[in-house]
Structure 1
């Protein structure tokens, strides 16, 4: 047996099975599977020899590794995304309550879509976040986009020609084909809901409008429209695909553009280890980020609040969270807050080389 043949078949089998005990390799060699791989005259015979070796190992209780297919979403837990989301929520609130004449066309469409939905389907006001799953399940109506009707190819050309000549067109059932299509869906809380005519169809339009404005995750958009809840941060979408026997893994990570290259690198390493943790951006401390989010959240609930009231509530929250060192004086909180926001927005809009 040539050493090259042993190396070749071993490489192929370990790509499929992972590390194989030495005793199994000796059995493969003793039974002639390695020699069969070596004397193969072409790729077809080589694959046949490899298949026989695979079947031999399976009979001995060795099982191939399964292809790993993992994907999901997480949040940046460094808090920067959470602070930015709070600013986005404040801007959303402004758009939804602003006079029409002060808005752009896109903002007007967003305002009309969300406010129209809330007036029609939430007449008693927003619902608590914990009631959202029950509300989604309660909606009835026909599922949207279950089927589509298309012309059979042999008649499509003739029909189009008649339409172009403005001649009347008559179709028989045999000339029309019905095809099944995947229905639209809404994903919330780990469950997928088919979009139905009525409330869910209108909610889907709201979600798409809010998502285009914010890039929030779909579930977060649903929660905002139905309850006014603000998400914890911007989503990080990631996926891992590993194929065998090629043994190649591919990682895709979708992150906000303000992430520094070194942050993306750390995130990649964390996803690679199957761990989604945030990292900290320079320029803002944890207390600064927490203050931005707190102020914007407080203003959503108390639009006319003065800095004295905000500072009092912030200091109370610091004590509650066990961070008395984060307390601030009312004389300086506004100046510091505005500086922190400028730093945050500079981070968010900076082009990283």
Structure 2
């Protein structure tokens, strides 16, 4: 299950595999933290194959049966599926066992799913479902340059190389176009203590490991400014005399600010630690040191996914309800109380568990 095989062009059948019903899953669903198209899995109930599991504002997992601009989102609890498919009771019994396991996952990003689906024993119809889309990989090229620059310097020295996509980086390393680069690649294989024929596997693993970090980092970089804007928006309600005199309201606003600040500070610190560890690898290049870095990053996938998924769902709801800011003090406080506070302890607990580990 790797993301480094990026040879397919966007929109092709190879890049967007179909399930056995001919469903093609859109890029947004494949790249999202909070969406899991059930058709990617061996679902037996026909009506469920086109449904999705999504996280709602309270971070509960619900089944989304349809979604469009006119009708909105048709969501039901997994517990209510039995009444919706009465003619497929046998198939549904089997499917509900799987759905019951899936609703407990904290995120549906592909990196969390790779680990968690294996843990709970649910296969996918096609492993390509657990790859980022071409459009997302292209979007992450800037992040990947940061992680691949030391590797490129090892092989090509200080020569500037034109890179438009993650796949360009990996192809460049797998197929060096100069004698000197090939010699450097041999030196790299010696340092790693792996055969030259094993270098492509190393490059694939390296690319996949740091593509996951680039993906999560891009999610975090998009969320932190949103969280900061949200906190200012929410705390501005305290300027109201009515709110400022209400001790419970002020305590709640302070609690939300404290938790959001703690969560974002902690997870940002984790990414800074990953940066340091990846740099350490290039001062002590070996297969063992790379495996250590890879294990450290991948062991955090599930908790990072859970935290980012929770924050993303909360911030998306805020942007949707208040696209231009605004809203009176009472409306703001009520939104914080009813939509932001529920589930915030859960996000905080996921981040604290990662810190403890």
**TM-score bucket (shorter structure):** under 0.3
Tell me which protein shows more helix as a share of its residues: 2
Normalised TM-score (structure 2): 0.22
Tell me which protein shows more strand as a share of its residues: 1
Normalised TM-score (structure 1): 0.23
